[in-house]
A and B are shown apart, each in its own frame.
Chain A
Amino acid sequence: MSLTTTVRAALSIVAMTWWLVAGLSACVQNAPPELLQAVEALDRQLVEVQGAEFAPEEYARFVDRWVAVKGRLLAEEDVIHWPWEADPLVTDLHELQEDGRRAAATAAQRKEAKRLEAQARLSVMEQRLRVFDGLIDQMGSRVVLGQRPIETKVLVSQARSLLEQGLYARSLRAVQEASRLLEVQSALLNAELGRYADASKVEMWRRMAQRTVEWSRAHGAAAIVVSKADRLLTLYRNGRRAVSYPVRLGFNGVLEKRYQGDGATPEGQYWVIKKRDRGQTQFYRALLLDYPNSEDRRRFQLARTAGAIPAESFIGGQIEIHGKEDMFLSQTLGCVMLDNREIDAVFEATAVGTPVTIVGAMNVTNAVALALAGIERVGEDQDAEGADVQDVVEASAVEGS
Chain B
Amino acid sequence: MRHVFTFAVAPILLLVVGCAKAPTDKLAAAEQAVTEARTAGAADYMAEDFAKIEGMLANAKTEIAQQNDKVAVLRDYEKAEQFLVAAQTESARVMGEVGKKKEEMKAAAIQAHRDAQAAVKTAQQLVAKAPVGKDRAALEAIKADVRGLNASLTEVAAALEAGDYKAAQSKAKAIQDKSHSVSAEIQSALAKTGAAKGQKSALAKKK
What size tier do the contact residues of chain A reach?
35 or more
Nearest to A330 among chain B residues (CB) is: B135
B100 within 8 Å of A (CB atoms):
no
Known: A147-B148, A154-B152. A330 touches B51 (CB 8 A): no
B115 close to chain A: CB less than 8 A: no
Tell whether A143 pairs with B140 under 8 Å between CB atoms, given A53-B48, A67-B86.
yes
- Cross-chain contact B82 with A70 (CB below 8 angstroms): yes
Closest to B166 in A: A167
B127 CB to nearest chain A CB (Å): 13
Whether B178 contacts A150 by the Cβ 8 Å rule is yes
User: For B52, what are the chain A residues with a Cβ–Cβ distance below 8 Å?
Assistant: 47, 52, 59, 63
B47-88 interface code vs A (CB 8 A; 1 in, 0 out): 111011001100100000000000000000011001101100
Residue of B nearest to A331 (CB): B136
CB of A353 to closest CB in B, whole Å: 31
Determine which of B59, B86, B170, B177 lies in contact with A162 in the assembled complex, contact meaning CB atoms within 8 Å. B170
Confirm or deny: B3 has a beta carbon within 8 angstroms of a beta carbon on chain A: no
A142-B151 Cα distance, complex, nearest whole Å: 18
Which A residues are CB-close (under 8 A) to B182? Answer: 150
Cα distance A28–B166 in the bound complex, in angstroms: 51
Q: Is the CB of A63 within 8 A of B152?
A: no
List B134-190 residues whose CB lies under 8 Å from chain A. 134-141, 144-145, 147-149, 151-152, 166-167, 170-171, 173-175, 177-178, 182
Please state if A153 and B178 are interface contacts (CB–CB under 8 Å): yes
Assuming the contacts A326-B134, A329-B133, A329-B134, asked whether A67 and B166 have C-beta atoms less than 8 A apart, the reply is no
Given A68-B79, A161-B174, A154 and B149 touching (CB < 8 A)?
Answer: yes
Chain B positions within 8 Å of A326 at CB level: 133-134
Q: Verify B137–A67 contact, CB threshold 8 A.
A: no
- By a CB distance below 8 angstroms, the chain A residues around B193 are 328
B48→A154 contact, CB < 8 A: no
Contacts between chains A and B (CB distance < 8 A), count: 126
Residues of B within 8 A of A153 (CB): 178
- B141 A52 Cβ-Cβ under 8 A: no
Majority secondary structure of chain A interface residues (helix, strand, loop or mixed): helix
Chain A residues near B138 (CB-CB < 8 A): 330
Q: Are A143 and B78 in contact (CB under 8 A)?
A: no
- Does chain B have a CB within 8 A of A149? yes
| Closest beta carbon of chain A to B116's beta carbon, Å | 10
Asked if B12 is at the interface of the complex by the 8 Å CB criterion, the answer is: no
Question: Which of A50, A148, A170, A330 meets B48, CB within 8 Å?
Answer: A50
- B205 vs chain A, min Cβ distance (A): 16
A147 touching B134, Cβ below 8 Å: no
Interface string of A42-71 (1 = CB under 8 A from B): 000011101111000001100110011011
CA separation between A157 and B83, bound complex, in Å?
43
Q: Give CA–CA (A162, B170) in the complex, Å.
A: 7
Are A60 and B135 in touch, CB under 8 angstroms?
Answer: no
Shortest distance between the CB of B98 and any CB in chain A (Å):
13
B78: A residues at CB distance < 8 A: 71
Residue of B nearest to A140 (CB): B137
Point out the residue from B59, B170, B178 that lies within 8 Å of A64, measured CB to CB. B59
Tell me which of A46, A147, A155 contacts B147 (CB under 8 A): A147
CB pair B152–A252 under 8 Å, yes or no, is: no
Q: Does A95 contact B (CB under 8 A)?
A: no
Q: Which residues of B contact A167 (CB under 8 A)?
A: 166, 170
CB distance from B117 to the nearest CB of A (A): 14
Q: Which residues of B contact A252 (CB under 8 A)?
A: 137, 140
Give Cα A153–Cα B83 distance, bound, in whole angstroms. Answer: 47
CA–CA, A48 to B49, complex, Å? 10
Nearest-CB distance from A74 to chain B (Å)?
8
- CB of A63 within 8 A of CB of B134, answer no
* CB neighbours of A263 from chain B (8 A): 136-137, 140
A150-B148, A158-B171, A331-B136 as given contacts; A47 in contact with B48, CB under 8 Å:
yes
B196 part of interface (Cβ distance < 8 Å) = yes
**Pairwise interchain contact B178-A157, C-beta atoms closer than 8 A:** yes
- Tell me if A168 is interfacial: C-beta within 8 Å of chain B: no
CB pair A51–B171 under 8 Å, yes or no, is: no
User: Taking the complex as formed, is A333 at the interface, i.e. its CB lies under 8 A from any CB of chain B?
Assistant: yes
| Complex: A331 Cα to B173 Cα, angstroms | 34
Pairwise interchain contact B48-A63, C-beta atoms closer than 8 A: no
Which residues of chain B have C-beta atoms less than 8 A from A76's C-beta? none
A236 at the interface (CB under 8 A from B): no
Assess the A146–B144 pair: CB atoms within 8 A.
Answer: yes
A38 to B144 alpha-carbon distance, docked (Å) = 58
Q: How far is the CB of B4 from chain A (nearest CB, A)?
A: 38
Which chain A residues border B59 with CB–CB below 8 Å?
60, 63-64, 67
Whether A154 contacts B171 by the Cβ 8 Å rule is yes
Contact of B151 among A52, A147, A329, A331 (CB under 8 A): A147
With contact pairs A52-B48, A162-B170 given, residues A251 and B145 touching in the complex (Cβ less than 8 Å): no
Q: Which of B137, B138, B166 has the most chain A CB within a 10 Å cutoff? A: B137
7 of the cross-chain contacts (CB-CB < 8 Å) are A143-B137, A151-B151, A154-B178, A251-B136, A251-B139, A326-B134, A330-B136
Instruction: Give 7 closest A-B pairs by Cβ, nearest first.
Output: A147-B148, A52-B51, A71-B82, A157-B174, A251-B136, A150-B148, A251-B137
Chain A residues proximal to chain B, CB less than 8 Å: 46-48, 50-53, 59-60, 63-64, 67-68, 70-71, 140, 142-143, 145-151, 153-155, 157-158, 161-162, 165, 167, 170, 251-252, 263, 326-333
